[in-house]
Structure 1
Amino acid sequence: LVPMVQITLAGNALAMSLPGGAAWAAAWAFGQLRRRGADRVLAGWVVLVAGALASYALFMLLVVGALVAGGRGPVASVRPLLIALASIPFIVTALVIAAKRFPVIDKLIPLGQRVLESLPKGHEMSGALQRTWERLLTVRPSRPAWFEAFGLGALNWIENCGCLVACLWAVHAHIPWHGILVAYALAQVLASVPITPGGLGVVEGGLTALLVAYGLPTNVALASVLLYRAVSFWGLVPIGWGVWGYLSWQSRKPARVQKRPHPWAVHTHRTRGAVETPPRSAPDVLLPAEPCQGCPEHPDQVVHEGERVSVP
Structure 2
Amino acid sequence: MTTPSSDPPQASPARSVLRRVVQFVIGVGLAVFLLWWGLPRVAHTTWTDVWHLLSQLHAGTVAGLTVLMISGLWLVTFLYTGSLKGLGHLQAMIVNACGSSIGNLLPGGGAAGVVVTYKQLRSWGFLRRDISTMIIVTGVWNVLARVVLPVVGIIAIVVGIGHLNPLVAQAAVLGALIGIGVVVAFWGVLASETFAHKSGRWLMKVTKPLRHRRRPDLDLELAITDLRRRIIEIVRYGWLEMTYGLVGFFGVYYILFWFCLNSMGVQMPFAYMFGAYTVGRLLTAVGITPGGLGVTEAGTAAVLVGWGADPAQATAGVVLFSLFTHFFEVPLGVIGWVLWWLSPKKEPGDAEPDRSTPDDGSPDGDVTLARTASPDPP
Measured in 2, the distance between the counterparts of 1:22 and 1:111 equals: 25
Residue 134 (1) aligns with residue 215 (2): no
Alignment of 1:110-189 (within 5 A): 124-126=217-219, 129-130=221-222, 133-134=225-226, 137-138=229-230, 140-143=233-236, 145-189=238-282
Q: Deviations over 1:104-137 (max 9, x none)?
A: x58x9589859958x78699444x5325633652
Q: Deviations over 1:157-215 (max 9, x none)?
A: 12112111011221232134222222122222323222222333332222211110121
Larger Rg: 1
Partner of 2:314: 221
Partner of 1:34: 122
Residue 97 (1) aligns with residue 191 (2): yes
Deviation of residue 61 (structure 1)?
1.4
Larger RCO: Structure 1 or Structure 2 (Cα < 8 Å, ≥ 6 residues apart)?
Answer: 2
Residue 243 (1) aligns with residue 336 (2): yes
Describe the SS at the equivalent of 1:192.
Answer: coil
Aligned in 2, Cα 1:38/1:75: closer, same or farther, shift over 3 Å? farther
Picking from 61, 78, 99, the partner of 2:171 is: 78
- Percentage of matched positions with identical amino acids: 23
Describe the SS at the equivalent of 1:197.
Answer: coil
2:164 is matched by which residue type in structure 1?
R
Partner of 1:295: none
Which structure 2 segments of 5+ residues have no match?
1-88, 350-378
Picking from 55, 62, 68, the partner of 2:143 is: 55
Partner of 2:285: 192
1:72 is matched by which residue type in structure 2?
L
Measured in 2, the distance between the counterparts of 1:206 and 1:167 equals: 17
Moved over 6 A (4+): 119-123, 257-260
Deviation of residue 226 (structure 1)?
2.0
What TM-score results when the alignment is normalised by the length of structure 2?
Answer: 0.56
What TM-score results when the alignment is normalised by the length of structure 1?
Answer: 0.67
Contact 1:116 1:123 in 2 (8 A): no
Which structure 1 segments of 5+ residues have no match?
100-104, 261-312
2:149 is matched by which residue type in structure 1?
L
Measured in 2, the distance between the counterparts of 1:4 and 1:187 equals: 25
Partner of 1:303: none
Contact 1:62 1:186 in 2 (8 A): yes
Partner of 1:43: 131
More helix by share: 2
Count of paired positions? 249
Aligned in 2, Cα 1:5/1:90: closer, same or farther, shift over 3 Å? same
Measured in 1, the distance between the counterparts of 2:307 and 2:297 equals: 16
Residue 10 (1) aligns with residue 104 (2): no
Deviation of residue 138 (structure 1)?
4.8
